[in-house]
Each structure stands twice: as structure tokens, then as C-alpha cells.
Amino acid sequence: MKEGKKSGVERTQIATRDEEWSDERLKTFLKQQPPDGMPADYSILLKAYRGMTVELFARFISLYIEAGKDINVALENGSTFLDLVSQHRKSTQYANILESAGAVRSSD
């Protein structure tokens, strides 16, 4: 182990829940570069989902749609982003936001 490298609880960053996010900050997520093999729009949604509270995600999805991004972007296996979010038991609000924006499951 490298000296000075934190492990376990020491490396966990405390969540900041009361921070103000401007629309400009939310729009920076639209410029994210995807990893190899992942569609850009899927990567953008994934980063937003992992990094935003429900309220921020709802605001972001409006900006995402306005920017002409694909709410039903699919991976090579055909699964949509809503498919992924729907697998998480505490993500009902996120799934509802996506569905309100026109997202569908791949089986629909």
C-alpha cells in the first residue's frame, strides 16, 4: 500500500446535499466524454444519475432534452438507461423523472 493512501472510511468523501447548482453547472454534464464502447448520451445520463440528487436530476433532464440528447439511448445489448435505473430499488423517483421525459424500457 502506498504511504499516505487513505483506505476504508478515511477515503470516503462526505456528501454535500445543500450546495447550490446553477444551470451552467448542470450543463457541464452535457459535455462529458464517454468511456470507450459507451454511447455518449448514456454516459451523460449515468454521470448525472450518480452525481445528482433527485431535484437536481429533474432539472438536469430538462436541460438534457433541450440540448437534443436521446432519453432512450441504448447500449449494444439494447438496454436503455431507464432499464438500469429501474433495477435499483431506491431509484423510483429517478425512474419517474425519466418516464415523464419520455424514457421507455427496452421491453416496452
- Within the chain, residue ranges assigned H as helices are 23-27, 40-51, 54-66, 81-86, 92-100
Provide the whole-model pTM.
0.81
Among 4-8, 80-84, 88-92, which is the least confidently predicted range? Answer: 4-8
pLDDT greater than 60 at residue 15? no
Rounded distance between C-alpha atoms, residue 15 and residue 56, angstroms:
14
Cβ distance 73 to 64 under 8 Å?
A: no
Q: Summarize the confidence of residues 50-56 as an average pLDDT.
A: 94
Instruction: Indicate the burial class of 87 (C-beta count within 10 angstroms; 0-12, 13-18, 19 or more).
Output: exposed
Rounded distance between C-alpha atoms, residue 24 and residue 93, angstroms:
24
